[in-house]
Amino acid sequence: MRRAFPVTLLLGAALLTGCKAPGQTAQNNDLDAPPPKSTAIQVATVTAKSGALTVQRNVSATIGAQRDSKVAARVSGTVESVPVKVGTQVPAGAVVVQLDPTQQRQALQNAQLQLRQARISLEQAQSTAGQSGASLSAAVQSAQAALAQAQQKAQSAEKLYQVGGTSLSDLQAARSQLAQAQSTLAQARQNENQNGKSAQNSIPLQQVQVDTAQTAVNQAQENLSRTSVRAPFAGKVAEINVEVGEFATQGSTVFRLVDPGSIRAKFSVPASDARTLTNGAKLNVAYGGKTYAGQVVDSTGIAGTDRLVPIQASVEGGDQLPIGATTQVHYQTTLAQGVLLPSEAVQADTQGNAVYSVEAGKAKRRAVDVLAESNGQVTVNGVESGSKIISPVPASLQDGSSVQEGGAATRPAGSAATGPAGKTP
């Protein structure tokens, strides 16, 4: 037996079928079908702008100084006093560590006594040579006078003997006196010459002894001055390595001195950032809750095995920073130059990266090259500055879709992006 459907159901179906205008066909209601292109899609746009995509970097830096001296003791001795404290600014030549000078002072006194004795010996030699020379000169003069008198007597005796006025014995006596006078003069001259030679030998020797003693005094004075360990240049005392009562050996470091004007923040950055951090580039150095202005002064370093380039920057007020401290350096670097857009304005599909511009109420697909991206911002090539770019891109948007601007972009084109240090854009 066939099952019978109620008549009312059949009539209802017939009435529904008949409720349509003459000539109108039935439509298929497909909710999943995309809207026709004639339907305008509400979109938000941004204006493309040319510029540089910059990012804020943060890196660790170490505080150092270009002029940093570890001052050593130049003589050994016990530390007598330390008149300054760590962190004190001292002028050049200021005493930072004083060693006990007792031994060096006694050595100086002994050297001064030896110098005095050498000078006395020299004076005595000079005096003796002068007195002997005067006496011997007088003896020579006397012998010369006696010789002249003997010569006259001998000549007179010769003449008288020839005329028979004197005897042979008197002539011989006169000749003997002449010979004696000549011998006496020769001896006087020899004595005078020997005295002069003696003076020439002894006085220079005494002078050498004086010079040697003077050198010893100078050395003793230098050793005494070395017991005061002084600052070689004006700077800040960064370290003191000894205490009162300790024994400091010659050559051991007793304190460390730095020049505040040569304070440097030293850090390393990727080679891509080093191109931005050229000499004169500005940055900030943060330490202890304070921020100090800095400026790159040396970016000529070569990347090491870690592929990082060493950078040095001067720091305004760097004398307030402790040597060896670890600080944070904040700097900006440029990732790329081009047209700036929000990242959400770029759509990636099987054909590559593209953006949609608004032209005469239609969405126009434009292929672009993404040069750099950082924290929601991109730099692209392939679109002109001033173009209106849809951002964000609706899921249903297609090339040629009718669009109507009715919203604001979530991020204006051209705003700078920030990101953590070391993050590869």
Asked if the structure places residue 204 within a domain, the reply is yes
| Rounded-to-integer distance, Cα 287 and Cα 241, Å | 26
Question: Quick one: 331 and 387 in the same domain?
Answer: yes
Q: Residue 93's domain is classified under what CATH number?
A: 2.40.50.100
pLDDT class for 169, splitting at 50, 70, 90?
Answer: confident
**Mean pLDDT within 127-140:** 68
How far from 142 is each of 66, 135, 147, 155, CA to CA, in Å? 82, 11, 9, 20
What's the pLDDT at 207? 86
Whether 281 is in a domain gets the answer yes
Residue 181 pLDDT: 77
Please list the residues that pair with 282 across neighbouring strands. 295
Instruction: Tell me: do 287 and 236 sit in the same domain.
Output: no
Q: Mean pLDDT throughout 348-365? A: 92
Residue 305 domain flag: yes
Residue 360: burial class (beta carbons within 10 Å; 0-12, 13-18, 19+): exposed
Calpha distance 134→145 (Å, rounded): 17
Grouping H, G, I as helix, E, B as strand and the rest as coil, residue 278 is coil
Angle at 381 between CA 375 and CA 383, to 5 degrees: 105
What is the per-residue pLDDT for 133? 62
257-288 confidence digits (pLDDT tens)? 999 888 999 999 998 888 889 999 999 999 99
Average pLDDT over residues 42-57: 92
CA gap 140, 232 in Å, rounded: 65
Q: Are residues 161 and 184 both part of a single domain?
A: yes
Distance CA 75, CA 98 (A): 11
| Close Cβ partners of 191 (under 8 Å, ≥ 6 residues apart) | 136, 139
Q: Is the pLDDT of residue 132 over 70?
A: no
Q: Which residues contact 260 (CB under 8 A, 6 or more apart)?
A: 65, 89, 235, 236, 318, 319
Percent of all residues in the chain with a pLDDT value above 90, rounded to a whole number: 51
CB atoms within 10 A of CB 355: 26
What is the pLDDT, as a whole number, of residue 112? 95
Q: Which of 33-42, 92-101, 182-191 has the highest mean pLDDT?
A: 92-101
At residue 404, does pLDDT exceed 70? yes
Q: How many CB atoms lie within 10 A of CB 2?
A: 4
Residues 388 and 267 in one domain: yes
Query: With 50 as the cut, is the pLDDT of residue 88 above it?
Result: yes
Q: Give residue 140's domain range.
A: 103-225
69 membership: H or E segment, kind and range: strand 68-72
155: pLDDT strictly greater than 80: yes
Q: Is 44 helix (H, G, I), strand (E, B) or coil?
A: strand
Cis peptide before 392 (omega within 30 of 0): yes
What total number of domains does the chain contain? 3
Mean pLDDT of 70-99: 95
Euclidean distance between CA atoms 42 and 34, whole angstroms:
15
The reply to whether 85 and 147 lie within a common domain is no
Pair (166, 180) in one structural domain: yes
Residue 7 has pLDDT above 60, yes or no: no
Contact indicator for 154, 174 with CB cutoff of 8 Å: yes
| Helix orientation angle between 168-225 and 102-162, rounded to the nearest 10 degrees | 170
Q: What is the pTM of this model?
A: 0.51
Q: What is the mean pLDDT of residues 66-79?
A: 93
Least confident of 126-140, 377-391, 402-416: 402-416
CATH of residue 326? 2.40.30.170
What's the mean pLDDT in 111-124?
Answer: 90
> Considering the chain, what is the average pLDDT of its residues?
82
* DSSP structural state of residue 346: -
In this prediction, residue 323 has a pLDDT band, given cuts at 50, 70 and 90, of: confident
pLDDT score of 345? 94
pLDDT at 127: 76
Place 407 in a pLDDT band, splitting at 50, 70 and 90.
low
Q: Looking at per-residue confidence, does 11 or 212 come out higher? A: 212
Q: In this model, does residue 247 exceed pLDDT 90?
A: yes
- Domain match, 58 and 180 both: no
pLDDT (average), residues 394-407? 88
